[in-house]
Amino acid sequence: MSVQQHALWQNRWTFILAATGSAVGLGNIWKFPYITGEYGGGAFVLVYLFCILTIGVPIMVAEVWLGKRGRHDPINSLRRICHEAGVSGGWTVIGIAGVLGGLLILMFYGVVAGWALEYVWQSFKGSYTTTNLALEGHFGELTASSGQQIFWQTIFMLLTCGVIAAGVVQGIGRSVNILMPTLLLLLIMLLAYSLLEGDGASAARFMFAPDFSKLSGEAVLVALGHAFFTLSLAMGAMLAYGSYMPDDAHVGKTVLTVAALDTIIALVAGMAIFPVVFANGLAPGSGPGLMFVTLPLSFAAMPMGNFFGGLFFALVAIAALSSSISLLEPGIAWLEEKGVPRVAGAIGLGLVAWGGGLASIYSGEVFDFLDKITAQYMMPLGGLLIALLVGWALPRQWVRGSGELAAGSYNAWYLVLRYITPPGILLVFAHSLGLL
Ligand code: PHE
């Protein structure tokens, strides 16, 4: 085994929770429902699930395995692995792109998490019953006020940098233990509520009855990008977390658990939101405001709506926090190995991400650009490189001999990673460029 520079999590559960904390975030609760709404529903969901299974999960296994084998920050893990295998050091670009990409994502992610914090504040003020928080107006006002958005984004970034500076191993490991189950519980409560009170039948039809005539090339690319985004792939996060994985944790089994939890939470979020959309005659394709406009409608009509609304948006912010930490960690770990203390790294990279956040607040185009360039281009390309590195360039014996996957699943995984995943990604690119 290589030298262990990093701390390790105590057991496989802490890894599962931290990785789930990274995977489950705004992607599941905010982004998945609104892009499903924009790209037409059922067919989009089906393509997304297909991408998770044939592209996301195989790459996630490969990425976590790379981290566990490398035992360093993403860039140095890759450098060492390539050196040891005698392959080109050029593959290190996966780690570099991951560190940069994580920062780029954080530049709009922190803004959205800030919106969630503002909704927590509104709930504490009792706004669900006293003002028109439930109406579209509030979201419009919030996103029109740069001052308010800067304030809440700043708070969120301070929280992120605070946890990062304190060290991920202790803080995050312990907190996700309580927070993740609570979030799931609340989502299920909202699901039950919206099925009882909302239009569950229309929602189910919208989400699960595929109409392929609505599926554009762009939709397929967005679905692929989202499979990467929601599983936190190709941004160094899984590489970094894999490097903290205890020796006796099994990569195959743990990754499957994380991916399953992530997918279930996204589907539950969709089924908590769309019944409200249809019951209130709202447009499913109304964009990034979807969650912020629909869920307050449920809370306003609920007994103790201010309480549940506040709790829910607080948990959304916490889910975002456990993801944003993993967006920053690869860069911090890399700086740490260069001798920069965590606190200094957290301040430096935090300021960079915060500054980018200002740009997203002042310009909707920057916001959209950051989202698109990361999810639709950097992540699929990074994933393609991970699949090629582990599936083709590194010695086959390395993964097989590591015992990280049971023999049967190893064979299936290796086959998919080599022959399905890379062509799958290329096909989606070709399709979205109109070449197919
Ligand atoms: N998976 C997170 C979400 O769904 C976002 C994320 C992407 C986190 C990449 C880390 C790395 O919200």
- Looking at residue 50, its amino acid is F
Report the C-alpha dihedral over residues 313, 155, 150, 365, rounded to 10 degrees.
Answer: -60
**Considering only CA atoms, which residue is closest to atom 7 of ligand 1?**
232
Of 153, 121, 75, nearest to 321 by C-alpha is: 153
State in Å: Cα 27 to ligand 1 middle: 6
Phi, psi angle pair for 62, to nearest 5°? -65, -45
Which residue is listed with tokens 């301040």? 347
CA separation for the pair 172, 7 (Å, rounded)? 13
State in Å: Cα 125 to ligand 1 middle: 30
CA separation for the pair 145, 201 (Å, rounded)? 37
**Considering only CA atoms, which residue is closest to atom 10 of ligand 1?**
232
pLDDT at 4: 43
State in Å: Cα 235 to ligand 1 middle: 9
Show the tokens assigned to 407: 């023999």
CA separation for the pair 234, 380 (Å, rounded)? 8
> Any residues with CB less than 8 A from the CB of 331 and at least 6 apart, and which?
99, 102, 103, 236, 345, 349
Q: Which atom of ligand 1 is nearest to the CA of 379?
A: 9
Of 424, 292, 393, 411, nearest to 87 by C-alpha is: 393
Which residue is listed with tokens 């940069």? 100
Show the tokens assigned to 424: 């799958």
User: Which of 52, 107, 268, 323 for a ligand 1 pocket mutation test, highest count of atoms within 8 Å of Cβ?
Assistant: 323
Q: Which atom of ligand 1 is nearest to the CA of 327?
A: 10
Q: How far is CA 361 from the centre of its chain?
A: 21
3-state helix, strand, coil in the chain (%, to 5): 80, 0, 20
Of 147, 374, 329, 306, nearest to 236 by C-alpha is: 329
The tens place of each residue's pLDDT in the chain, 436 residues long, gives 344 456 787 788 888 988 999 999 999 999 999 999 999 999 999 999 999 999 999 999 999 999 999 999 999 999 999 999 999 999 999 999 999 999 999 999 999 999 999 999 998 888 776 555 556 688 999 999 999 999 999 999 999 999 999 876 666 667 777 888 888 888 998 899 889 989 999 999 999 999 999 898 899 999 999 999 999 999 999 999 999 999 989 999 999 999 999 999 999 999 999 998 999 888 999 899 999 988 888 888 878 888 888 888 998 998 999 999 999 999 999 999 999 999 999 999 999 999 999 999 999 999 999 999 999 999 999 999 999 999 999 999 999 999 999 999 999 999 999 999 999 999 998 888 777 7
The CA distances from residue 268 to 222, 281, 340, 375, in Å, are 20, 21, 41, 22
CA separation for the pair 105, 325 (Å, rounded)? 12
Of 378, 372, 422, 393, nearest to 54 by C-alpha is: 422
Q: Treating both helix axes as pointing N-terminal to C-terminal, what angle do 12-23 and 168-197 enclose, rounded to 10 degrees? A: 60
Which residue is listed with tokens 């890894």? 15
Q: Which atom of ligand 1 is nearest to the CA of 28?
A: 4
Phi, psi angle pair for 149, to nearest 5°? -65, -40
| R_g (Cα) of the chain, nearest Å | 21
Show the tokens assigned to 88: 């080109």
Q: Which atom of ligand 1 is nearest to the CA of 25?
A: 12
State in Å: Cα 129 to ligand 1 middle: 33
CA separation for the pair 123, 131 (Å, rounded)? 11
The CA distances from residue 147 to 66, 289, 327, 405, in Å, are 42, 19, 25, 50
Of 237, 242, 264, 261, nearest to 105 by C-alpha is: 237
State in Å: Cα 232 to ligand 1 middle: 4
Q: Do you know the residue count of the chain?
A: 436
- Looking at residue 426, its amino acid is L
Number of H helices, E strands in the chain: 23, 0
Phi, psi angle pair for 11, to nearest 5°? -150, 175
Spell out which residues line ligand 1, taking CB within 6 angstroms.
Answer: 22-23, 25-28, 105, 229-230, 232, 235, 237, 323, 326-327
